[in-house]
Amino acid sequence: MKIVCYKDKILKAINSVVKGVASKTTMPILEGILIQTNDNEIKLTTYDLEIGIEYIMDCDVKEQGSIVVNAIMFSEIIRKLPDTEIYIQLNDKNLLEIECEGSLYKLATMNPEEFPELPKIEIENSIELEQNTLKNMIRKTIFAVSTEENRPIFTGCLFEIQKNKLNIVAVDGFRLALRSVFLNQKTNDFSAVIPGKTLNEVNKILSDSFDFIKIGVSKNQALFEMDNCKIVTRILDGEFLNYKSVIPENWETRIKVNKNNLQNSFERISLISSSSIEKEKKYPVKVNVDIGKILISCTNQTGDAKEELFVSTEGKNLEAGFNPKYFLDSLKSIDDEEIYVEFGTSISPCLIKSTENIDYVYMILPIRLKED
């Protein structure tokens, strides 16, 4: 194998596939990148037995061939080379030579025939949408995915297609994030729970463009196809939360507020909330809704803080406590200038919605406040 390519092109390819490399494994081959040539293209593949990533790029191929090389070592060498042409070839001692200007590196290689094949997916259902739309939807829900492995189904996002509408839902037991978009083409209703780890990597590869991405699912695998990149992942087993049944339909207290003003207040209040001497102890932020205003406050050993905002209010007065991080994560993902924040009682879920459209809902569970 002998190829010549520019650093920026091969580095983009490496960056696209490197997250499919196994980090903890007893199989060294899974720590590698499979490099294969095909006419004037090379294909880079990584696979950790859960997520597999392929990336195809044009290249000046002098001699055909294939090889597996340690991904971390290969990527770090390429990253630190000058921004110019790089010559890569397999020598007669089965070492991969990487040459660029005055630099020459030789890396041990592994047998490409031992590299596991990516699963072949028989797609049962699929959708297509613009890459920038999916990128936006993932970014605005992924923060609510659970990191607790004892409930693995919540470590992924639900992709639900109903009546030509895609709903992406994330939930971690304390909050819920829902984003929706209507699809341009008619499609079957189906659903799948995609691991959060996979979606993070998909989001890094997606471009902020109107180019399309195709998402296909089988019984236990999903496939993301875009441009010259393909990502294969397992689908999480189990029953996802019936999210529609837990989102309150009615409210007893509602405020209409400038999103940035509310976000800025929570950011300042969280400085006190998170600065406790007892690092493990979480202090809630108290929200008091009164006629025409809300008071946001927090008190702990470090000090206390109060923020008052004049807002449009409807319904009853209310006092409730919240984890400020959950509020901020939701507010940061909203582009609208004005939002509704809807409350039930002091112990029932709070909803954050748009004042103008129905493409998102965020739900946050309150924290019980101690009696003074």
For residues 141 and 134, the answer to whether their CB atoms sit within 8 Å is no
The closest of 111, 6, 104 to 58, measured between CA atoms, is: 6
The answer to whether 54 and 91 have CB atoms below 8 angstroms apart is no
Q: What is the pLDDT of residue 98?
A: 97
Same fold, 2-114 and 125-241: yes
CB 320 within 8 A of CB 329: no
**Residue 313: what pLDDT?**
97
Per-position DSSP letters for 34-59, written without gaps between them: EEEEETTEEEEEEE-SSEEEEEEEE-
Q: Which pTM does this prediction carry?
A: 0.91
How many Cα neighbours within 13 Å face the side chain of 294? 28
Residue 61 near residue 89, CB atoms below 8 Å: no
Whole-number Å distance between alpha carbons of 272 and 79? 41
- For the domain 247-364, what is the CATH code? 3.10.150.10
CATH 3.40.50.10490 assigned to 125-241: no
Distance between CA 175 and CA 146 in Å, rounded? 10
| Distance between CA atoms of residues 54 and 52, nearest Å | 7
Tokens of 299: 């008190």
208: amino acid identity, one letter: D
Q: What is the pLDDT of residue 277?
A: 47
Task: Please state the separation of Cα 243 from the chain's center in Å.
Answer: 20
What is the distance between the alpha carbons of residues 181 and 44, in angstroms, rounded to a whole number? 33
Fold of 2-114: DNA Polymerase III; Chain A, domain 2 (3.10.150)
Domain range annotation of the chain: 2-114, 125-241, 247-364
Tens-binned pLDDT, residue by residue, of the chain (372 aa): 999 999 999 999 999 999 899 988 889 999 999 999 999 999 999 999 999 999 999 999 999 999 999 999 999 999 999 999 999 999 999 999 999 999 999 999 999 999 999 999 999 999 999 999 999 999 999 999 999 888 999 999 999 999 999 999 999 999 999 999 999 889 999 999 999 999 999 999 998 999 999 999 999 999 999 989 999 999 999 999 999 999 999 999 999 999 999 999 999 998 887 765 444 456 789 999 999 999 999 988 888 999 999 999 999 999 999 999 999 999 999 999 999 999 999 999 999 999 988 899 999 999 988 765
3-state SS class at 276: coil
What b/e string do you get for 252-265 counting C-beta neighbours within 10 Å, with b at 16 or more? ebbbebebeebbeb
